[in-house]
């Protein structure tokens, strides 16, 4: 059963596939009307204890939703206060520029492949060319095997080479040690394998980790409706 969100919770939310529908490209997503305002209302009702945990770049989070406490790039870049300074928890992988050259060569040879550059990771998106999935998986596995400071994150139609260290679970745990999150029961909602550490951490800390597919029928609209129904006083 999905819990009732109350004023004693701390709320953590993924973006893509959770708050908004996935799109063919990261820049192609559509933010539903009223979503940023809804999140602001929830943040106020929770005494400020709302944070975004996303794989997106920090600038993308702010562009889509506005400035909230957040963990960008899967927890590698953490901003504790709305509009505050984001602090990196790791360094950029040493082979970043090499990976970028390799990824770009593949993107040039494979129509539909998109390379996304982040501050601490690189992503190969193949949603528009799913026939290349296994070839790109092999490429990503080969490249990460050559590195001692990076990990491979498979996601929805994407392979991401990311700096080792930091994940959404660690970010959630970190937020729960500081005001206004400390002393509350965490609720996290996510939809992807990259969200599993945060789902597990929310449960470990006595709260609830929720999955869009299992708890909301796979529909982001159901997540937004559940958030909108919250009565936080």
36: pLDDT strictly greater than 80: yes
**Domain 9-89+166-228 bears CATH identifier 3.40.50.12240:** no
CB atoms within 10 A of CB 142: 10
For residue 24, is pLDDT > 80?
yes
CA distance 209 to 173: 13
Given a cut of 80, whether residue 109 has pLDDT beyond it is yes
pLDDT, mean of residues 118-147:
96
pTM: 0.95
How, if at all, do strands 9-13 and 50-53 pair?
parallel
The beta strands (E) that lie in 61-106 are given as 70-72, 77-79, 87-88
Predicted confidence at residue 83, as pLDDT, reads 82
Report which secondary-structure segment, H or E, holds 197. helix 196-204
Residues 6+ apart with CB under 8 A from 148: 164
Better pLDDT: 173 or 82: 173
- pLDDT above 80: residue 159: yes
pLDDT higher than 90, residue 65:
yes
Residues acting as catalytic residues: 14
| 103-126 average pLDDT score | 96
Of all helices (H) and strands (E), which one includes residue 3?
A: none
What CATH number matches the domain at 96-163, 2.40.128, 1.20.1250, 3.90.1070, 2.60.40?
3.90.1070
Q: What is the radius of gyration, based on Cα positions, of the chain? A: 18
Contact between 31 and 64 under an 8 Å Cβ cutoff? The reply is yes
What are the sequence ranges of the domains in the chain? 9-89+166-228, 96-163
- 40, 31 contact by CB (below 8 A): no
């Amino acid at each position: 059963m999905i819990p009732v969100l109350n004023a004693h919770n701390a709320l953590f939310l993924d973006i893509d596939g959770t708050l908004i529908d996935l799109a063919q490209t990261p820049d192609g997503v559509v933010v539903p009307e009223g979503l940023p305002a809804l999140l602001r209302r929830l943040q106020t009702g929770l005494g400020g204890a709302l944070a975004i945990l996303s794989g997106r770049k920090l600038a993308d989070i702010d562009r889509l939703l506005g400035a909230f406490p957040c963990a960008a790039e899967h927890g590698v870049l953490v901003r504790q206060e709305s509009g505050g300074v984001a602090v990196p928890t790791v360094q950029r992988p040493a082979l970043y520029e090499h990976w970028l050259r390799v990824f770009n060569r593949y993107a040039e040879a494979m129509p539909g492949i998109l390379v996304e550059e982040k501050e601490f990771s690189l992503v190969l998106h193949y949603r528009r060319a799913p026939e290349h999935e296994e070839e790109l998986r092999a490429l990503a596995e080969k490249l990460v095997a050559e590195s001692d400071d990076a990990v491979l994150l498979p996601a929805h139609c994407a392979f991401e080479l990311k700096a080792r260290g930091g994940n959404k679970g660690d970010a959630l745990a970190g937020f729960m040690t500081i005001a206004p999150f400390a002393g509350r029961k965490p609720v996290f909602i996510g939809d992807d394998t990259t969200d599993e550490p945060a789902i597990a951490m929310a449960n470990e800390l006595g709260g609830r980790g929720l999955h869009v597919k299992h708890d909301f029928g796979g529909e982001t609209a159901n997540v937004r409706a559940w958030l909108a129904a919250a009565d936080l006083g």
